[in-house]
Structure 1
Amino acid sequence: MITQGIRTPGPTTATSAVLATPPAAPADAAAYFAARLAFHTDVADVHAALAAGAADFVVVDSRSTGAWDQGHVPGAVHLPTARIPQDAAGVLDPAVPVVVYCWGPGCDGATRAALALARLGYRVKEMLGGIEYWIREGYEVATWQGTERRPADPLTAPVGAEDCGC
């Protein structure tokens, strides 16, 4: 049924697949989403913080040297996941939180790196989207040849606005 342009469930509306499993109670949802934000951040927030000169975290690129050379977040530390147990103490301050990234949402590399760092006692967040979304949102990357920036992908970044407003 549609009332004043708003769709409301009619008396014979069947339960959708969306609500086949009902939403969590508000208190449970609040706890879940608060916990999720404790484990994740996104490329827009990392970029904004770095652009503002934030020094309260360090960004770690957990990819291979070849991937790092293709382009990485400017100012990031290169620490491939396999090298974390041997090298983390030499390049990271345990008092400074770490934001780790890998290729993108189709890759668990950042999750593996975050787990390895957490097991060593580091406070860590995973940057959702990885370098893929960093690049797709039009942020500059550093390479051995200098820096470069590609146009933002309008499917992942706001067009004509500084941020998405969320």
Structure 2
Amino acid sequence: MTTSSPAAAAVYFGASLAFHTDVSDVASALAADGDPGFVVIDSRSAECWDQGHIPGAIHLPTAFIPDRAEQLLDKSVPVVTYCWGPACNGGTRAALALAQLGFQVKEMLGGFEYWAREGRAFETSQGGERRAPDPLVAPLRGEDCGC
């Protein structure tokens, strides 16, 4: 196994944090009083959106970003994108499309899958839902994993 220098690692991980956020950080910011300082974009299809999405998210499928983003979003407000989960790069593609249009953007790691698996409330076409936290991805008591 090869390793990089501590300086190179610091640059890499610092850059990663500049471009990524996670479910816990997004949920905390959305739950706090006042403006979280960003908007959340669900980049999936209408069928997927209906299956479940983050409350307050804006539905903007990646294919529609070039034509609709500037009508729906303010370039002065950062955007957080998400798709299904870690096995899907749809949130990455949406973030790229938004960045190419001049938006400040981060991708939410874990996507909708980890939002639901962490026991966060979500909306469906049938109403609100919340599942018990999966002990493999979230603490069973409390909201903070301590990381």
1:123-134 to structure 2, matched below 5 A, reads 123-134=104-115
RCO higher in 1 or 2 (8 Å CA, sep ≥ 6)? 2
Q: Deviations over 1:98-134 (max 9, x none)?
A: 0000000000100110000000000100000000000
Structure 1 counterpart of 2:17, which letter?
Answer: L
- Whether 1:42 and 2:15 are equivalent positions in the alignment is no
Q: Identify the match of residue 100 of structure 1 among 66, 81, 84.
A: 81
Bigger radius of gyration = 1
Which residue is 2:48 aligned to? 67
**5+ residue gaps, structure 1:** 1-19
CA-CA distance at 1:161 after TM superposition = 2.8
CA-CA distance at 1:61 after TM superposition = 0.2
Paired residue total: 146
TM-score, normalized by length of structure 1?
0.86
Q: Deviations over 1:25-66 (max 9, x none)?
A: 111111111100001000010001100134310000000000
Q: Identify the match of residue 29 of structure 1 among 9, 18, 30.
A: 9
Structure 2 counterpart of 1:158, which letter?
Answer: P
CA distance in 2, matches of 1:158, 1:55: 24
CA distance in 1, matches of 2:143, 2:30: 15
**Secondary structure of the equivalent of 1:74?**
coil
Structure 1 counterpart of 2:27, which letter?
Answer: H
CA distance in 2, matches of 1:162, 1:85: 36
CA distance in 2, matches of 1:111, 1:97: 15
**5+ residue gaps, structure 2:** none
CA distance in 2, matches of 1:83, 1:156: 32
**Secondary structure of the equivalent of 1:60?**
strand
Which residue is 2:103 aligned to? 122
Aligned-residue CA RMSD (Å): 0.9
TM-score, normalized by length of structure 2?
0.96
More helix by share: 2
CA distance in 1, matches of 2:132, 2:76: 36
- Structure 1: which 4+ aligned runs deviate by more than 6 Å? none
